Structure 1
Amino acid sequence: MKQRPSVSSGRRSAAAATRPDPVDDRAPESAPTPGPGPRGRVAHGVGTTLWLLVLAAAVAALLAALVGAQGHWFADGGAVATVTAYAWGLAARTGGRPAIFGLLALVLGVVVVVVDSDGLRSGAAVVTTVLTAVFAVMVTVPAVRMTSAVREILVALVVAVVGAMATLAWAPVVDLDRFEYTALGLSLVASFLTVFRLGAGLHGLGTRGIVAVVVGSLMLAVTVGYAELLRRYGTQSLVDTLDEAVRWSRHHLGAFPRPIVALLGVPALTWGTHMRARRRQGWWVCAFGVAMTAPVAYGYVDPGRSVREVSLALGYGVVIGLLLGFLLIRVDLAATGRSTSRGRRSAVPGDAEPLRPEPGRTHPLW
């Protein structure tokens, strides 16, 4: 004879069914939206092709100016075309109005060329640096494997190097320290404002996001102010030892790695792109990636350093930063070990599966 379930047990079952799951620090993902139709795909392909052609023409003009081609139109035209393409690309990537921002960048660039004043050219150089630094980070995609993380670092570097040539083409007349601090500060502000939307506001930070932002901010303060900290609080023997290490590196290796690139920018972008494959909080880590892309964008403005020395310093910083980024990925995966078989497979970066898809590199992020 079957027993009739009691009312209290039924109520307990209903309550258990409606009880929310334990809070996870991963931000909820929105449902995937249907892709564009055939006409939309064709229009997107044509637009991307035209954008690449404009950027290729800009790079050709900038290279011609660097090798000493006659006339200032190569440098000015390449700089204006690069700023226009990057403004269009950043607006399209972040869901803005690319036609409006691209046209605005084109008009302002032409005004700077026509007026041809040192103040306007210096301002255009700062804008180009900030635009390049943020766009180079936004154009990345989630990196499931470590090799994919290296690829994203290279993509960001290529975008930043093209922007660096455009920044140099403006021929700014600036105080170097003030220029670098201004460009880096504005790049960080623009990056975090953009990620604020991508990360669904501050409530989308989660535990890892808060830790990453706090640690990244402390590392930023240390890497930016380390010279002043050493001068104020370091012993003379420590300062002499570090100066000797810098001199040895420049004499034997050709350059000394840029600390902000090696200790913050590259590790943040490496770990952030890998985290974005699983959690939206990875965008908050990627925001510190401008600590790599901004120094690349303004690195060649320094007249006291050769192109070779600047390139070697950035290259050494990228290599060291990649090693630190891989270490952060290993620690993150070890700290978030899973009990399921899929989780154990995901703990191996080479076998990880993308859990959080994002739009393609040439599509809007929202």
Structure 2
Amino acid sequence: MTTATQGGRRRLEAPATPAYDLPTRQPRLRPELGRWARITVIVLWLVSTALATTSVVAVGAPTWIERPAAGVLLVVLATMLTHRVGGYLRIWVSLAGLLAVSAVVMERNVTISAAAGVTAVVATVASVLLTRPARTLGQVVREYGVAIAVALSGTVGVAAWNAPVGYQRFNLLVLGTSLALAIAVVWSLGAGLHGMSRQGVAVLVGVAVLLIVLLAYSSFVRTHGSETVVDAFTSTVTWLRETVGGVPRPVEVLIGLPALVVGTSVRSRHREGWWILVFAVIGTGVMTTSLVDPNAYPSYVGLSTLYSIVLGLAVGLVARRIALRDRSARRNRAIERPSRVEPPRHEPLR
């Protein structure tokens, strides 16, 4: 909007702060009860995560607390995710609780494997959906830390179940289910493809192409690669493992975690940032399943995850600068758009 001053000069006026563009459900509880409910959920999340961590860190804790802690963590994560997407807590949390109790009490392979898989999926998707739009560098780092913390709690939760599953099949199943769930949630938030700008489409297509190329190339190298190339990769991995104790995971460093940085940043301006965050599920999904193999070395996985987190943040900040830069002088002269408004972290998105 423009106005004229006394001299007839036209200038831009700052637009009013926009309201959230989706209807949200009414609060489930009175403000006081809601506050205590949030505190209870956070405390249970912290305690259950700490107890589940004893499955990978030797602190002298009894082993019988691992699966009950993982069960509580499963219910807490399901509560967080269901509340965030505006779902029916009575249905989904009850089902999560039933699965957790069945796995702990019956101790059957099928229920334990199912509980581990649901824990991984719920933590993977919740870690992304619990973020908020990030406009400044400090906000980006904060939201990055929130997502990583939730994903890591899912990692120790999966490890605490000690499920008898194969890593490759379990990982693919978790990633596929998490992607499908994330796409369904993002679509329900009204972030349809019809409202995307050219820049948003370019970013989305670029990430998708990079993912396809990376997966196709890695698969080709494993099955049809020459001995020289395979030996070079093997030697590099061995050298990194012996030198720094861990190996960064390419899918996390190049796709999943950078998408988390770029997605939260784009979300501060456009709703289409949610589509970029769909790819962030790949990064957090790989993280949550990294300790599902009982034979995995926690120190090696931990260092690999740490290196992936640091490098993923660095790559993400570079990609963020490219994705958010203004490409025309006209845009540089225009007044800065206000940030998008979204509900607080503890409120439903719809």
State whether residues 200 and 272 of structure 2, in contact with CA within 8 Å, keep that contact through their aligned partners in structure 1. yes
CA distance in 2, matches of 1:343, 1:147: 24
Pairwise CA distance, 1:278: 0.3
State whether residues 132 and 160 of structure 1, in contact with CA within 8 Å, keep that contact through their aligned partners in structure 2. yes
Unaligned regions of 5+ residues in structure 1, if any? Answer: 1-27, 347-352
Report the equivalent of 1:363.
347
Which structure's CA Rg is the greater one? Answer: 1
State whether residues 191 and 290 of structure 1, in contact with CA within 8 Å, keep that contact through their aligned partners in structure 2. yes
Runs of 4+ in 1 over 4 A off after TM superposition: 28-37, 335-338, 340-344
Pairwise CA distance, 1:299: 0.6
Report the equivalent of 1:174.
165
Structure 1 residues 231 and 299: CA distance shift in structure 2, 3 A: closer
Secondary structure of the corresponding residue to residue 339 of structure 1 = helix
Letter in structure 2 aligned against 1:267:
P
CA distance in 2, matches of 1:343, 1:87: 43
Report the equivalent of 1:57.
47
Pairwise CA distance, 1:149: 1.2
Secondary structure of the corresponding residue to residue 299 of structure 1 = coil
State whether residues 135 and 339 of structure 2, in contact with CA within 8 Å, keep that contact through their aligned partners in structure 1. no
Report the equivalent of 2:141.
150
Letter in structure 2 aligned against 1:237:
T
CA RMSD in angstroms, aligned pairs only: 2.6
Pairwise CA distance, 1:304: 3.9
Pairwise CA distance, 1:281: 0.6
Structure 1 residues 56 and 242: CA distance shift in structure 2, 3 A: closer
Higher RCO (CA < 8 A, seq sep 6+): 2
Letter in structure 1 aligned against 2:135:
V
Q: Does 1:224 align with 2:224?
A: no
Q: Does 1:129 align with 2:120?
A: yes
CA distance in 1, matches of 2:288, 2:112: 15
Pairwise CA distance, 1:292: 1.5
State whether residues 125 and 170 of structure 1, in contact with CA within 8 Å, keep that contact through their aligned partners in structure 2. yes
Report the equivalent of 1:8.
none
Q: Find the partner of 1:70 among 62, 73, 77.
A: 62
Report the equivalent of 1:10.
none
State whether residues 133 and 187 of structure 1, in contact with CA within 8 Å, keep that contact through their aligned partners in structure 2. yes
Unaligned regions of 5+ residues in structure 2, if any? Answer: 1-17
Report the equivalent of 1:212.
203
Greater fraction helix: 1
Q: Does 1:96 align with 2:87?
A: yes
Structure 1 residues 46 and 239: CA distance shift in structure 2, 3 A: same
Structure 1 residues 364 and 329: CA distance shift in structure 2, 3 A: same
Report the equivalent of 1:330.
321
Map Cα deviations across residues 170-224 of structure 1 (whole Å, 9 max, x no partner): 1111111111111111111111111111243332334334333322222223333
Map Cα deviations across residues 23-57 of structure 1 (whole Å, 9 max, x no partner): xxxxx9755879989x8432321221121122233
TM-score (norm: length of structure 1) = 0.82
Q: Find the partner of 2:101 among 63, 88, 110.
A: 110
Secondary structure of the corresponding residue to residue 301 of structure 1 = coil
Q: Does 1:47 align with 2:37?
A: yes
CA distance in 1, matches of 2:55, 2:237: 33
